[in-house]
Homo-oligomer: A and B are copies of this chain.
Amino acid sequence: MFKVTVIVKRKPAILDPQGKAAQQGAKLLGFENVRNTRIGKFIEFDILTDDKTQAEKEVEAYCEKLLTNPLIEDFEYKLTQAQ
């Protein structure tokens, strides 16, 4: 089995309304030093195989078909072997 973590970020050229809202909130609350807030996703799951090549293939397909929108988002993932 592998434990998988995936970080999903909007591509740099794509607007991030959620991050912008948080950034405006930061200013309203007096956090004067906060800049450039951007909000993405942090996803965790398990893959029930010990074949790393198969695991990577399934992780990439899961990310591309369901977890992200490849038109506007980039992702990176990490596998950690577990018991």
Contact = CB atoms under 8 A, between A and B. Distances in A.
Interface residues of A, number: 35
- Copies of this chain in its oligomeric complex: 2
Contacts of A54: 33
Interface in A52-81: 54-55, 58, 61-62, 65-67
B37 A45 contact: yes
A36 to B, nearest CB: 5
Nearest to A66: B25
Contact of A37 (B36, B44, B49): B44
> Which 10 residue pairs across A and B have the least CB separation, nearest first?
A37-B45, A42-B42, A40-B42, A35-B46, A33-B48, A33-B47, A25-B66, A7-B42, A36-B46, A38-B44
